[in-house]
Structure 1
Amino acid sequence: MDIDTTRTYIMVPAEEFTALKSALAQISSDLAELKNSRVSPGPKADYILAEEFMQLTHIKKSKFYDMVNNNKIRVIRKLRKTYVLATEVKRYFIDPEMS
């Protein structure tokens, strides 16, 4: 028996098939809308607060400051605030040496 010519038929109730078609149509229109939108994900600022970085990456203070001390994250300290380059969030998820 040749696999390429074998067919399998499944019986689905008409209501379920209609619901499936409408769900797929909704997903397709949502994807098209996302593709056409000009909104880019992620932070728009050049620098974010260290607390924001920790929230976005789901890490705690101890891990954050450990990474800072090991020069894995570049930070800027101004007055009593610690700022992180916004691009460091993306680099945290891409660079395997960050974790």
Structure 2
Amino acid sequence: MLESVRFAGQCVELWHWQLAPGVTYEAEPDPPGSQEMLYIISGELVLTLDGLLRPLVTGTSIAFASDQPYRFHNPGPFMLRFSKNVLLAAE
């Protein structure tokens, strides 16, 4: 995590992530109403959300509700680098 700011009972986080080739990260749901935004800096990311695979490549982004289980996977042969902004709803 690079930065975190709290205001009005919510928290915004800025992350820089890296996943090695073949690595998968299983995420736990955030509090109800939470959101995430991803921007792929380099590499490939497969986001699994609602049972659907959503492939993302360098230069693409996505926003989604993070109050559900989701998964990040690096299917490529190179290091995956991406930024992640999280808006955590008040619990």
Determine if the TM-score, normalized by the shorter chain, exceeds 0.5.
Answer: no
Q: Which has the higher helix share?
A: 1
When normalised by structure 2's length, the TM-score is 0.22
Between Structure 1 and Structure 2, the one with more strand by share is: 2
Q: Of the two structures, which has the highest relative contact order with CA contacts closer than 8 Å and spacing of 6 or more? A: 2
TM-score, length of structure 1 as denominator length = 0.21
Which of the two has higher C-alpha Rg? 1
